[in-house]
Amino acid sequence: MRHFAFFLLLSAGLFTACHTTKKGLSDDKTIPLFNGKDLTGWVNYGREKWYVEDGLLICESGQYKEYGYLGTEQKFKDFDLTLEFKQEVNGNSGVFFRCSVDGTKVAGWQAEVAPKGQHTGGIYESYGRGWLIQPIPSKEEILKENEWNTMRIRCVGDEVTTYLNGIEMITLKDEKIGQADGQIALQIHDGGGIKVKWRNINIKRL
């Protein structure tokens, strides 16, 4: 009887462990968008420079000094995106969401990535209403110049929230955003002199 009881306990424990493991796997929906090796899974729009060096994704202005975008092949509607960026020279860039790109014309919304004092974490609608919301002035100091910063963008339905280095920058509810679907895209601003490094780009579908 003791051996039988032990067998039952052992079997129950194995069942629980297996059940927990399977549940844990099913709950993990995080997708790495950048593999650290090449631009697999991305589409280059425009004539500016996008390349991988030392495991980092780098965007850099080329000779044409135009807008440039690197968009995901997949579309994401409701998601939680995290990434790290480090600005070099002029770091005027951005992270577009629920967007589409035609040539170098983008339709959608941008979580701003820009030099200090230029509203990193705010939401801008390109070829539309312009600035929808900017962080309050005191939050402009959260950006770390010439260092790695972590941005998080959470978009569910008509609500989008951005975070910079763990601090909430803005929360916006907007009907037009709620109706849209589309790609994630990184930007090179026009005018030349742009260089930004990116790493640890991960997204979770919600």
pLDDT digits (tens, 9 = 90+) for 125-178: 999 999 999 999 999 999 999 999 999 999 999 999 999 999 999 999 999 999
pTM: 0.86
Query: Domain count of the chain?
Result: 1
What is the domain extent for residue 52? 30-205
Helices assigned H by DSSP within the chain: 2-27, 175-178
Other CB atoms within a 10 A radius of the CB of residue 100 amount to 16
**Which pLDDT does position 139 carry in this prediction?**
98
- State yes or no: pLDDT of 96 exceeds 90: yes
Task: List the one residue out of 93, 95, 131 whose CA is nearest residue 111.
Answer: 95
Does the residue 15 lie in any domain?
no
Give a yes or no: residue 8 inside a domain.
no
In a domain, 3, yes or no: no
| 164 domain residue, yes or no | yes
Q: How far is CA 103 from CA 51, 69, 170, in A?
A: 19, 9, 30
> Which has the closest alpha carbon to 47: 64, 24, 22, 26?
64
Is residue 51 a contact partner of residue 29, using CB atoms and an 8 Å limit? Answer: no
Tally of CB atoms within 10 A around 10:
10
Better pLDDT: 74 or 1: 74
* pLDDT bucket at 25, cuts 50 / 70 / 90: very low
Model pLDDT, residue 89: 82
pLDDT band (50, 70, 90) for residue 90: confident
> How far is Cα 164 from Cα 151, in angstroms, rounded to an integer?
5
Give the side-chain half-sphere CA count within 13 A for 126: 24
Angle at 40 between CA 21 and CA 145, to 5 degrees: 90
For the segment 140-153, what is each residue's pLDDT rounded down to a tens digit?
999 999 999 999 99
**Residue 62 included in any domain:** yes
DSSP3 helix / strand / coil % (the chain, rounded to 5):
15, 50, 35
Percent share of the chain, pLDDT over 90: 84
**CA pair distance 204, 194, nearest whole angstrom:** 29
Whole-angstrom distance, CA of residue 194 vs CA of residue 88: 7
Per the domain annotation, does 22 fall within a domain?
no
| Burial of 44 (C-beta count, 10 Å sphere; 0-12/13-18/19+) | middle
CATH number of the domain that 116 lies in? 2.60.120.560
Q: Is residue 4 part of a domain?
A: no
Would you say residue 152 lies in a domain? yes
